[in-house]
Amino acid sequence: MAAGRSQAYVRGVTPTHSPATAADPGRSPTAPSGASSDTSGRSDAATAAVTRSAYRLRINGTEHELDLDNRASLLDVLRDRLDLTGSKKGCDHGQCGACTVLLDGRRANSCLVLAVAAQGREITTVEGLAGADGELHPVQQAFLDHDAYQCGYCTPGQICSAVAVLDEVANGWPSAVTRDPDAVELDRAEVRERMAGNICRCGAYANIVPAVLEAQRLTAGAAGGDGAVTR
Amino acid sequence: MREFAYGSAESVEQAVAMLDGDPDAMFLGGGTNLVDLMRLGVATPGRLVDISRLPATVEQNEDGALRIGAAVRNSDLAADPRVRRGYPVLSEALLAGASGQLRNLATSGGNLLQRTRCLYFQDVTKPCNKREPGSGCPAREGLHRDLAVLGHSEACIATHPSDMAVALTALDAHVVVTGPAGPGRIPMDEFHRLPGDDPTRDTVLRHGDLITAIELPAPSELSRNSGYRKARDRASFAFAIGSVATAITVVDGTVTDVRVVLGAVAHKPWRARVAEQAIIGGPASAHAFEAALDLELSAAQPFPDNAFKVPLVRNLAVGQLCRLAGVEMSVGSVGAGTDGAGR
Ligand SMILES: Cc1cc2nc3c(=O)[nH]c(=O)nc-3n(C[C@H](O)[C@H](O)[C@H](O)COP(=O)(O)OP(=O)(O)OC[C@H]3O[C@@H](n4cnc5c(N)ncnc54)[C@H](O)[C@@H]3O)c2cc1C
Ligand code: SF4
Ligand code: FES
Ligand code: FES
């Protein structure tokens, strides 16, 4: 699985931050810290100058120039800055999976990723899964065919997660329920375990599991097993 | 969330230099715990030094020892064939933790340094000695169902949430660090601390110390015959309410070596040395394992709502030792209470 992955450490852009600036002399140690811990009263002119960064993000094959406060999560940038609202915010704490996107082909919770830390990665959201001609990704088609959703809120995360699951299986990654780690195969129990990071409040699991299994049948053989997004 | 500056380190030396001298700066791994705690207002760094791009390799040297780079992701480590075959307990513990998405982000160094999931610690509107020294510990009288039954103190009864750390303790791993005070190599069992009267410190590390690697001794008969079991409130994607990492070697019916480490019961992975001493040299039998665990757990001091943990980890450990030793479980005794249980 190395091939697609070595990309992870290739920087598309030189970092724009100035790393080794000394401890901020301007910050008063007695600044009120406030139990609600927000920004007010804790920033000053000296910090304000370095608490944002200019960088580029590569999302669904397109480069985006950004100049943002470092606090922005990847999820918030996708939704609020770039109008890519497919990725959803369910919890903002890594607990629900609604925000799942692919980073260098690997699934990740975009709510816990700082956008500034996602520089140089190939980011794929649910909007980037279909082919250029609009042909749906096999996982998307399988979710449609199996009616694998009710309200649809968790669905983009479920789909991105499932796309990565197929890759992980093709790459021989075991799961907690894998009996023989040398012969990893997807079955109902495997899908349930591997998709456990995606919660569905509507409880559409009964149709999600067959959809993922169907998607695997559709992609079997075509899957590259190289850690990249398969289509 | 407080505003912060951000920088990314390309090398270990640069990472240490970037953080050095700034008490307000923190390292950023995958961010799955730190970003969450920043959002909750529990962590308030003024600067982040991103170390997730440091070399992430797992290397095996000539004598077979494994060196795991601190930036290696939990998912890659769990899937590594050398880990799966040589140290199954580690692969199993990693796969029992979090979700596929989170394991892709979580780093080996960050996993060890994740903070407790004690509800009061994560809620800045509540007192908590770990977060605000001297403010008190509401968990004692309040919600402590998930917290410690062993090694806790008047000041704090929190547990360490990492599954990986429990497995690493059973494998006699070392944590390799470097920092302002120079390099160090810390045995896993001494890496995390008991709370004592300073619960603010989870580990022996000092500010500015960077974990660079985790080292495992060459795979052995013991490490190959190892496994992890975890009890939780749902079948997957939940923290342990009790867990156990075990490894055992049996020769002609006699136990020649054993490791028993209990998780989610203390401020650190609980190496059950009393039980290990009782088991070594004796017969590999359910009865012997039960007696050894009961001896170990006679030191338990559970609270009203977490006394169930004592028989839980006892039975997890006995069951897992029997399985690895290939001996029958004694049906009657599993489920039996111990001194600490059922009060
Ligand atoms: C919903 C959810 C469920 C979870 N379930 C489980 C579970 O069941 N079992 C389990 O074990 N874990 C679980 N986790 C926790 C998860 O495993 C940890 O959050 C993760 O391992 C932390 O790694 P990280 O790289 O993201 O660390 P970060 O969040 O980046 O950092 C954590 C801490 O480590 C410090 N740090 C990071 N790397 C280094 C280094 N190399 N040297 C020095 N300091 C460093 C940071 O400054 C920070 O203080 C869960 C998390 C979530 C959000
Ligand atoms: S148990 Fe520890 S972490 Fe929890 S409230 Fe008490 S002092 Fe804080
Ligand atoms: S919004 Fe990211 S996991 Fe819930
Ligand atoms: S379809 Fe409604 S949350 Fe899953």
Q: What is the pLDDT of residues B63-85, one digit of tens each?
A: 999 999 999 999 999 999 999 99
Return d(Cα A57, Cα B183) in angstroms, integer: 36
Is the pLDDT confidence value at A5 over 60?
no
Q: Is the CB of residue B43 less than 8 Å away from at least one CB of chain A?
A: no
Is the pLDDT confidence value at B339 over 90?
no
Domain boundary residue, one of A84, A107, A128? A128
| Interface mutation target, options A18, A114, A166, A180, chain B, most CBs of B under 10 Å | A114
Answer for the pair B94, B78: CB distance below 8 angstroms, yes or no.
yes
Ligand 3, atom 3, lies closest to the CA of A94
Q: Do B32 and A112 touch (CB under 8 A)?
A: yes
Is A183 buried (19+), middle (13-18) or exposed (0-12) by CB count in 10 A?
exposed
Q: Do A73 and B101 touch (CB under 8 A)?
A: no
Is the pLDDT confidence value at A10 over 90?
no
> Which residues does chain A have within 8 Å of residue B56's beta carbon, measured at their own beta carbons?
9
Residues A158 and A113 grouped into a single domain:
no
Q: Does a structural domain hold residue A23?
A: no
Which amino acid is it at A131?
G
Instruction: Choose among B235, B314, B239: nearest CA to B270.
Output: B314
Return d(Cα B52, Cα B78) in angstroms, integer: 18
| Pocket-forming residues, ligand 3, beta carbon under 6 Å | A 89-92, 94-99, 109, 111
Residues A143 and A79 grouped into a single domain:
no
CATH value at residue A99: 3.10.20.30
Is the pLDDT confidence value at A31 over 60?
no
Residues A223 and A170 grouped into a single domain:
yes
Sheet architecture: strand order including B5-8 = B5-8, B47-50, B25-28
Q: Which domains does chain B have, with CATH numbers?
A: 227-325 (3.30.390.50)
Q: Which residue of A has its CA nearest to B105?
A: A108
Return d(Cα B264, Cα B164) in angstroms, integer: 12
Instruction: Choose among A110, A117, A104, A108: nearest CA to A70.
Output: A117
Residues A149 and A221 grouped into a single domain:
yes
**Which residues 201-220 on chain B approach chain A with CB closer than 8 angstroms?**
none
From residue A181, alpha-carbon distances to A16, A163, A219, B132 in Å are: 43, 21, 21, 45
> Which residues does chain B have within 8 Å of residue A42's beta carbon, measured at their own beta carbons?
2-3, 44
Instruction: Choose among B286, B230, B290, B226: nearest CA to B257.
Output: B226
Which residues 6+ apart lie within 8 Å of B277 measured at CB?
A: none
Return d(Cα A8, Cα A228) in angstroms, integer: 11
> Which residues does chain A have within 8 Å of residue B28's beta carbon, measured at their own beta carbons?
114, 117
**Which residues 104-163 on chain A approach chain B with CB closer than 8 angstroms?**
106-109, 112-114, 116-117, 119, 161
Answer for the pair B320, B246: CB distance below 8 angstroms, yes or no.
yes
Interface predicted TM-score (ipTM): 0.94
Minimum distance, in Å, between the CA of residue A70 and any CA atom of chain B = 7
Residues A83 and A154 grouped into a single domain:
no
Domain boundary residue, one of A104, A128, A152? A128
Q: Does a structural domain hold residue A40?
A: no
> Which residues does chain B have within 8 Å of residue A103's beta carbon, measured at their own beta carbons?
104
What's the confidence (pLDDT) of residue A222? 55
Q: State the closest ligand 3 atom to the C-alpha of A97, by its place in the atom list counted from 1.
A: 3
Look up the pTM and report it: 0.90
CATH value at residue A161: 1.10.150.120
Return d(Cα A70, Cα B28) in angstroms, integer: 13
Q: State the closest ligand 3 atom to the C-alpha of A109, by its place in the atom list counted from 1.
A: 2
Q: State the closest ligand 2 atom to the C-alpha of B144, by its place in the atom list counted from 1.
A: 1
Is the pLDDT confidence value at B135 over 90?
yes
Residues A225 and A185 grouped into a single domain:
yes
Query: What average pLDDT does this structure show over B167-186?
Result: 96
Q: Chains A and B: how many Cβ contacts under 8 Å?
A: 166
Return d(Cα B234, Cα B320) in angstroms, integer: 20
What's the confidence (pLDDT) of residue B126? 98
What's the confidence (pLDDT) of residue B21? 73
**Which residues 164-223 on chain A approach chain B with CB closer than 8 angstroms?**
164-165, 168, 171-176, 181, 192-198
**3-class secondary structure, A88:** coil
Instruction: Provide the CA B204 distance to its chain's centre, in angstroms.
Output: 14
Q: Does a structural domain hold residue A118?
A: yes
Pocket residue to mutate for ligand 3, from A74, A111, A155, most atoms within 8 A of Cβ: A111
**Pairing outcome for strands B47-50 and B25-28:** parallel
Q: Does a structural domain hold residue A210?
A: yes
Q: Do A113 and B35 touch (CB under 8 A)?
A: yes
**Which residues 221-280 on chain B approach chain A with CB closer than 8 angstroms?**
235-237
Q: How many domains does chain A have?
A: 2
CA angle A53, A55, A56 (to 5 degrees): 155
Instruction: Provide the CA A153 distance to its chain's centre, in angstroms.
Output: 16
Q: What confidence tens digit (pLDDT) does each residue in A51-107 have?
A: 999 999 999 999 999 999 999 999 999 999 999 999 999 999 999 999 999 999 999
Residues A142 and A122 grouped into a single domain:
no
Q: Do A94 and B237 touch (CB under 8 A)?
A: no
Is the pLDDT confidence value at B9 over 70?
yes
Q: State the closest ligand 1 atom to the C-alpha of B238, by its place in the atom list counted from 1.
A: 8
Dihedral sign from CA coordinates of A151, A153, A159, A164: negative
Option in B35, B48, B104 nearest A108 (CB): B104
Residues A124 and A200 grouped into a single domain:
no
Residues A111 and A169 grouped into a single domain:
no
| Interface mutation target, options A102, A106, A161, chain B, most CBs of B under 10 Å | A106
Instruction: Choose among B19, B8, B45, B47: nearest CA to B180.
Output: B19
Is the pLDDT confidence value at A38 over 70?
no
Pocket residue to mutate for ligand 2, from B117, B126, B128, most atoms within 8 A of Cβ: B128
In chain B, the largest separation of any two C-alpha atoms, in whole Å, equals 63
Residues A111 and A158 grouped into a single domain:
no
Q: Does a structural domain hold residue A76?
A: yes
- Domain residue limits at A92: 48-128
Instruction: Choose among A157, A134, A136: nearest CA to A204.
Output: A157
Query: Could you count the other beta carbons within 10 Å of the beta carbon of residue B162?
Result: 27
> Which residues does chain A have within 8 Å of residue B42's beta carbon, measured at their own beta carbons?
37
Q: Which residue of B has its CA nearest to A41?
A: B2
Residues A143 and A222 grouped into a single domain:
yes
What's the confidence (pLDDT) of residue B331? 63
Option in A37, A173, A181 nearest B41 (CB): A37
Q: Which residue of B has its CA nearest to A107?
A: B101
Q: Which residue has the higher pLDDT, A1 or B38?
A: B38
Return d(Cα B44, Cα B299) in angstroms, integer: 37
Query: Considering chain B, what is the average pLDDT of its residues?
Result: 95
- Confidence band of B329 (pLDDT split at 50, 70, 90): confident
| Pocket-forming residues, ligand 1, beta carbon under 6 Å | A 94-95; B 26-34, 36, 51, 70, 97-98, 102, 105-107, 109-111, 113-114, 161-164, 210-211, 239
Residues A89 and A143 grouped into a single domain:
no
Query: What average pLDDT does this structure show over A153-174?
Result: 97
CA of A147 from ligand 4 middle (Å) equals: 11
Q: Which residue of A has its CA nearest to B101?
A: A108
Domain boundary residue, one of A86, A108, A128? A128
CA of B266 from ligand 2 middle (Å) equals: 12
Find tokens 């111990």 and name the residue: B338
Query: What average pLDDT does this structure show over A166-174?
Result: 96
* The 3-state secondary structure of chain B, one letter per residue: CCCCEEEECCCHHHHHHHHCCCCCEEEECCCCCHHHHHHCCCCCCCEEEECCCCCCCEEECCCCCEEEECCCEHHHHHHCHHHHHHCHHHHHHHHCCCCHHHHHHCEHHHHHCCCCCCCCCCCCCCCCCCCCCCCCCCCCCCCCCCCCCCCCCCCCCCCCCCHHHHHHHHCCCEEEEECCCCCEEEEHHHHECCCCCCCCCCECCCCCCEEEEEEECCCCHHHHCEEEEEECCCCCCCCCCEEEEEEEEEECCEEEEEEEEEECCCCCCEECHHHHHHHCCCECCHHHHHHHHHHHHCCCCCCCCCCCHHHHHHHHHHHHHHHHHCCCCCCCCCCCCCCCCCC
Query: What average pLDDT does this structure show over B103-129?
Result: 98
